[in-house]
Structure formats: C-alpha cells, structure tokens
Chain A
Amino acid sequence: MNTKLLFAGSARMMMRYKMRTFFMAIGIVVGVTALVFMRAMGVGAEQAMMDTVNKTFSTATINLVAGGGHMGPRAGGPVTSLRVADFDAIENQIDGVVITGAMQWLPSEDIRYQGNTRQMSIYGYTDQTEAVWLRGVEYGEYFTSEDIESASRVAVIGQRAAEALFGDEDPIGKQIQAGSVPLRIKGVLELQGIDTHGADKDDEIHVPVTTLMRRLMNVDHVFAGRVIIDDPDNVENVGEEIKLLMRERHSLNEGEPDDVVVITPNLVQDIVSNANRVLGRYLPAAAGVALLVAAIVIANIMLIAVKERVPEIGIRKAVGAESGQINFQFLTETVVIALTSGLFGIGIGMIAAVAFGNLSDVPMIVTPGSLALGLGAAVLVGIFAGVMPARQASAMDPVNALR
C-alpha cells in the first residue's frame, strides 16, 4: 500500500470536508481544554494545601492531642490524663527530642477591657512557644519561665483582638479581665491569619499554661502539645516511643486504647493529600465526562460520515482496497483529528489556566503530566470514536456499498 498517497488523500478530504472535520475536532478541543484547566486547578489546590500543612506542621514535628480518637475535643468527655509533666518526660527520656511544649485551650471566655467585652479563645502555652509553635510577639514580650512557674496573671494578645479591645491605644501594660481573673498584657502576637480549622489566630489570647489550668479552668491536665525532634526521618520511631511512654505513664493496661493521639507529619500529610486527591481527581473526572460525551458525539459524527462515505468505500474496495486498509485509513483519520485537536486543547487549556491563575488568586499549576493526560485522553477518544465506524466501513461489501 502506498501510505503516503493514502495520507495525502485523507488530509485533502479533511480539508475539503471542513465542517465534518470541524465538528469532530471541536468536541475534543473543548473536552481536553476543560481537562487541562481543571487539573491545573486541582493540582494548584493540592499544592496550596500542602504548603499550608508544611508551614503548620514542620517535618520534624509531632503533635499530641489528649483523647483516643480524633483531633479536637472528644465526644466522650475530656480526657484528663495528659499533663505538663508528660512533656517534660518526653523531653528528658526520649532520644532525639529537642524541645516540647504543652498547650491548654479554653474555647471561649468573656474578655473585658473598660466598657468593651469580647468572646475569645484563650490558649495556655509555655515560654517556648516561639521555638515550638513558631509564633512570637510582634512587640512587647512573651512569657518567661518564671511566668510559667508562678502562673503569673499575664497575657499576650492577637492583633485583631487587640484592635477590638483597645482601638488605637497601646495594649502593652493594660489590665484586662478574663472571666474573674485580671491579666496584664505583656505583648502583641505576630499575625498568623486563619488556621486550617478556620479559626482566626489573630483573635485569641495566650496566657501561661499554668495560669490557664489553675486560675481560669481549675484543671491539672492539658489538652495538647507539641514535640520537636532533631531528625525528620525519625518522626515515626519517635512517635512510637512517645506512644509507649504515654501508655506507661498513664498506666494503661494491654488492650486498653491509647489516651493520647500522636500525630506525625506523615499522618497529617496523608490525610490532607487524601482529601486533595479527591479534589484533584473529581475535577478532572468532570472533564472526563465532558470528554466522554464528546467521544460519543464524535463517534456519531464519524458514523454519519461513514454512511456519507459508503460509495467512497465501495469505490476503494472495487479498485482493490482490502478491509484492513479501509479500517486503517478511517482509524488514522480519526486519530490524526484527535491528536491535532488534543494539541489545540492542551494549548488552550494551558493558556487559560495560566491566565486564570494570574488574574485571580486561585492557585493554578499546569504540570507536564496534566498535558500528557490531556493528549492521551484525546487519542483514546479518537481511537474509541474511530474504531467502530472504521470497522463498519471496512466490513462493507463492495457491491452493496456501490448500490
């Protein structure tokens, strides 16, 4: 077979039957554009979320939360077994631990300053917050170890909270009232924004963890805490050691469930990236559906095109074309159209994604993998849409085709 001549002929037919070619192409272009665009959106969202996670949970960080189940307050009442002393034990007894910090939390308390009252979360931290939780003061100063030891009545305040309570006044040195406890403001916290749970980290108050336990909540346990280790590759091992140590210190028998959840960065990343994978997959799945619809449309147009071309098939067979050669021709035509439209599709999709990313603050990331996916999908659609009509065309008897 003279393939060059066949291809030249096919190319001419596509040029001469422009509408037919156009309709076959347009479906794929739209589908692939959508696929590339949505995948850029999905990958962008995943990356953005991973960035946030990595900022919040540095890779050498292990978080501890009191309770046997999930992060956050438990349904079965608070677990009271996690103590500040547990963190000291972790720091002293486990190799590779650099520093620890316990944390207690009072979800909501009335904070008063002169005539102003505002409901806020109060967090109890140690003097190591800057090292452990990576947050220091913008100005003023944080708690000292003496503040922790003596459970001093001092606080540092988030910037939004400060504005709300003090307006233009300088908060440093001012006396506020948390419930019935007077607190003196020592510093103003660095801006942090909204956290992954949706809480405004600039609308909160920090007090020494001891002050919160003894003076405000009247408890002797903490809610959570954090352990910083020296080697990120070791998080899983250290995590296991912490679990064992906690069981030992809390005198848990074999078979009893853990009373402390040990959250390693890998675990967090797994959870988050799972959530993102759902996002990153459903968006392209929607585009995939568009592409499938396009494929059905293309297959139908091809079938109509084949019917239109029945006499052509008859002629070709009459002058010596074999079924396989007819099949090859039709399949090649669809794949060429699909590939060309696919290239247009990834081009338009890429430009649209980048433009959209620049014009809005939606993070859009176009990866070579997404482009390959788009092109692959286009070719698959071409084959899917081309196979059936090609079969039908090639199976035709020449006399019937010519009648």
Chain B
Amino acid sequence: MSLHEVFRDCATRRSAALIGYLPAGFPTVPDSVELFRAMVRGDGDTPGCDVVEIGIPYSDPVMDGPTIQAASGEALRNGFRVRQLFDIVSAVAETGAAPVVMTYWNPVHRYGPDAFARDLAAAGGLGVITPDLVPDEADEWLAAARQHRLDRIFLVAPSSTERRVAMTAGAGSGFLYAASVMGVTGARDSVSGSARELVRRTRAHTELPVGVGLGVRTAGHAAEVAEFADGVIVGSAFIDRAGQDGAAGVAEFAAELGRGVGKSSTPAP
C-alpha cells in the first residue's frame, strides 16, 4: 500500500492516520523491532499506527529535544549501524503498516542518496522524512527518490512563508509534515494553536495530506489534532512509554492514541 492509499483509507473510515516514531535500534535492534510491532498492533479493540516513522539515530540531532536525543544516543551506544535499518524496515513492512524513515541528511549523504533510496525501497520502505533537508538543496535526493519510487516528505513550519509552503508542497509527495510549533521535538502539555493555522495555510497550496507533529502527548491531543489534520504524529511520548512499560505499554498507548484519532466504531466528530 502507498502512503497515498493509507491516508485515503483513513479518510474513508473518517479517522486521521496515526503516525508513530521511534529511533531504530532503541534500545537495541531486536528490542526496537518489538516496539515497532507493538506500535502497529495496538490492543485487542483498537489497532495502532498506520504509518511507522523509523528514525535513524544520529550523533547531532539538532531538531530533537532531550527525549529523542537520549534515545538515539542509547541506540548508538548499543552499536546501531545504518545497515541494520533495512531489516527493521522489512520487519515493519511485514506488519502491514506503512514504514517511512526519518533521518538527518548526513547519514544519507554518506551512504549515497541513490544507494540509500534503492536499499530502502527494496526493504519495503515507502518514503523518507528529512528534517534538515529543504527542497532547495534536495535535487539529488529528489532524483534518487523518484527513481526508486519513494515519497519525499518535507516539513513546513509556522515560520514558513506562503511562497515556501507552496514550493515545499510542490516538491513533496506522500504527505507533508507540519511542525506544530517553533521548536524541537518533545512532548508538550498542549498542542499549539499555530498548528491549526499552519494546516489551513498548507491546504491552500496542496491536495497532499498534512500530518501534524511536535508535542502530541496524549489521546486528547491526538483527538484535537485529528479534527483539522490528516495525520497525527507522535514520537517522544512513545519513547517515554517504552521506557516505562516496554512493548506492552507501547501497544496500549498506540491503541489509546488510535481511539483518539478516531479508530473506533464511533467515527471521529
């Protein structure tokens, strides 16, 4: 299934897509596969994530707050290597969820953008989210991703001008990642009002689905965001939950969030 189809099916079921992030290899490679599976499984009543964001742990994660920094650092200390990413992607693809990779640009640059796109597509990956690669610098990546039929998921931010939102929407595919606040990743107590406004501005330029991330922590937040966005992205809160309650906790939390975004017998309002 393509990302396009995932979002279409969620829309048909009148739910937003639930997009969950964890770093690959956190805390170890086998453990992370368990966590990703749990994130998709949910509980007996409600399934979990539709899209799984597999993060490549990176030495210098400038867009990440303390939670993801710590988890990525742990994965690296436990020996995570980029080549192990592809098996993790395959394992996620087998669950039936849509795997995408979230990565800073340098690891891809180093691997070789074309080789990276080729190996990711072969493993069943559908696209890549690039938090520090803007379309202005992405010619090589766009060519590689097109060649290997991967979606190019770029970010828009509250500070993006109309011109940049339009340009970014034009270069992207799959979905657009709307950063809800000006800031780094990390669970927050409330979802900023700027998210709704950014989604509205983005929709004026594109038919692409818009996912909202940064700071979503509870099923309540997820429900709030699902009212105005096509996808709800949760990262740091999954890491916290994994740290507290392991895979069982992640599965349970995914189901709670799933109900939040509208995955139950009662359609979302």
The answer to whether A and B interact is: no
Binding site for A on B (CB under 8 A): none
